[in-house]
Amino acid sequence: MPLALELLDKNGLHVVDVEELSWHYQRTAEHWLDNFELHWPEIQAVDPLIFTERFRRIWTYYLSGVIEGFRPGGGNLNLHHITFTKGKGDYPKTRDFIYARA
């Protein structure tokens, strides 16, 4: 059993859901990079001494690495969302409540 799950169990926390979010994070980073590049002139205009060409290159490199790291067949990055309760509470049996429209 992975260490995180052992610690949850040891402390009376009950895992009720685990969701793999790598694909979502990859897509989010793609949007961040697209917006960053699209709005770079506006960003730089805020303060050209801070938002330099070096700043732009660093963040372009970082976001490109994040995208590739989460891409299937790319890097080995994973992102899991673990939902847990104290004890065995009354947690919904499906994710329907998450997607229900108010």
| Side chain identity at residue 23, one-letter code | W
CATH code of the domain covering residue 55 = 3.40.50.150
Distance separating alpha carbons of residues 56 and 42, to the nearest angstrom: 12
pLDDT of residue 1: 53
Q: Which residues, 6 or more positions from 99, have their beta carbon under 8 angstroms from its beta carbon?
A: none
Helix, strand or coil for residue 81?
A: strand
pTM: 0.71
pLDDT of residue 38: 98
pLDDT of residue 76: 84
Q: Is 70 exceeded by the pLDDT of residue 102?
A: no
Distance separating alpha carbons of residues 102 and 42, to the nearest angstrom: 36
The model's confidence at residue 43, banded by pLDDT at 50, 70 and 90, is very high
DSSP state of 84: E
Number of domains in the chain: 1
Domain span at 31:
3-99
More confident: 8 or 61: 61
Work out the mean pLDDT of the chain and round it to a whole number.
90
Q: Is 90 exceeded by the pLDDT of residue 69?
A: yes
